[in-house]
Each structure stands twice: as structure tokens, then as C-alpha cells.
Chains A and B, each alone.
Chain A
């Protein structure tokens, strides 16, 4: 089971906007929930998300418990050359997730 889903257009013209959509599977535990036994579930949310385009940072989010579970982000980056978008996120427990998407620029 993948822990993220990414959507980018099949191709984009140079200098136009690439629409990027990413959905990350993560419970984003706020720390305010209790489990069936009544014990509090510890807080563990994704705290940072970053997108790099052929290695260059182009978009990032400092995330807190105010973002819903299974975080979803849709944003735009300028199409330059063809290559790869790299995504990385880190949660409170230090777990790191990554994903990639190929971008084709014509």
C-alpha cells in the first residue's frame, strides 16, 4: 500500500504552471484522542513537507495538527525543464516519507 498519491499533468508547456496534487496517508494524531482502553493516543503529526524540482526547493509547508488527517496539498510550480519532483515529509516521531513524480515539460 502506497503511503502517498501524486497527480501531475502528463505534460506542461515551459513557463506554464504545473498543478501538483499530493495526498499522504498519515493519521495526524492530535494527541487529544483516546484509544478503546481510554489511554490517550500520543500526538504524532507531520510537521514538515517539502517539494523539490530537480533538486531545487519550490514549495514547502510547516504543518501542525490544524491540517486534517491524510494531508492533502494542491499547489502550482513553474514548468522549467523536464525532470523529477521530489516530495519529503517528516512527522513528530521522526519518521520520514518520500515520493517522486516525473514532470514532462514541452
Chain B
């Protein structure tokens, strides 16, 4: 199912061909606050990391596209409202995957208070799933955000 060369952006073409969905869910970033708050998935690595603590589902925002045409490189943005100093500052933001073979995706660490939290990266997703971000503050407070991504071509399948 190769997308022939055309002026149409490849991702939209594949969306129409493969998903067959006419829902024009443009690859807008879906914030964690979209519609109803996503339920926290039960990920063993996340459960043991939380050790019984309940993060607040606010302040931290995890943006991932609602629909990713390629699980190999999915753009991700983490944002968090300040202030970060004086007072409690963010120390680390952990990312967990519901479905990847390695559930701990990354930990972004802040040895000193950042001027703002806006982290962009690209993640690999082995299939449609939810991703959880947990921010750990210097006073021990936890904030979490959950985003769900539908992946049309997953990473890690068939050794490709």
C-alpha cells in the first residue's frame, strides 16, 4: 500500500486509504484535557513507580497526535504551567507507555528550576495506546497527564 507521489500530504493520504475514516481528525495535538479526561491505564511499571500515590490530573499537559500514521516517530510535547521558583519546582517528568515492550520511555530531569516547561521530542509507539506523563515536584507532589494515540503503522512489528 504505497502512497503514490502526489501533492497531497502523505499522512492525510494514508489516513484516507488505510483508516478508511472520513472523520477529518486532522493531526491536531490532543491535549490531556480533550473531552473526558483519559483514564489512567494500568501499567505495572507506572503502578510501582507511583507506590500508592495519586497524582493530580492538572497542570501537566501531554500532547500527542490523536492519529499517528507512523509509530516510529510520533511528535510529543510536554508543557507545565509555572511558577517553578521560588517554591516547589519540577524535578522530573516520567513518560510511560501502555503497550511498548519497554514501558519507561524517558525521564526528563531538571537539576535547576526551568524558566518554563515545554519539552518537545519524538517517541516510538508499538501500536495504538495511551501514554502517561507524571511530573514529580521538589515537595513530592505529583501531577499526571494521559494521552491516547491511534497508530496506523506500529513500530516494532515484523522486526521493521
Instruction: Using CB atoms and an 8 Å cutoff, list the residues of chain A in contact with chain B.
Output: 15-17, 21, 28, 30, 32-34, 40, 56-69, 71-78
How many inter-chain contacts with C-beta < 8 Å in the A-B complex?
A: 102
Q: How far is the CA of A97 from the CA of B97 in the complex (A)?
A: 27
Q: Is the CB of A68 within 8 A of B105?
A: no
Cα distance A93–B104 when bound, in Å?
Answer: 20
- How many angstroms from the CA of A34 to the CA of B107 in the assembled complex? 28
Interchain residue pairs A-B with the least CB separation, the first 9? A66-B105, A74-B120, A17-B115, A68-B122, A68-B73, A62-B107, A57-B111, A34-B159, A60-B109
Of the candidates A59, A64, A76, the one whose C-beta lies within 8 Å of that of B106 is A64
- Which of B73, B115, B120 has the most chain A CB within a 10 Å cutoff? B115
Answer yes or no: B29 CB below 8 A from chain A CBs: no
Could you tell me the distance in whole angstroms from the C-beta of A19 to the nearest C-beta in chain B? 9
B interface list, Cβ under 8 A from A: 72-74, 95, 97, 100-102, 104-124, 155-156, 159-160
List of B residues within 8 angstroms of A68 by Cβ: 72-74, 121-124
Q: Looking at the assembled complex, report how far the CB atom of A105 sits from the nearest CB atom of chain B, in whole angstroms.
A: 13
Residue of A nearest to B115 (CB): A17
Residues of chain A within 8 A of B123, CB atoms compared: 66-68
CB distance from B98 to the nearest CB of A (A): 11
> Which partner residue on chain B sits nearest A72 by CB separation?
B122
The CA of A63 and the CA of B107, in the complex, are separated in Å by 7
A75–B116 CA distance with the chains assembled, in angstroms? 9
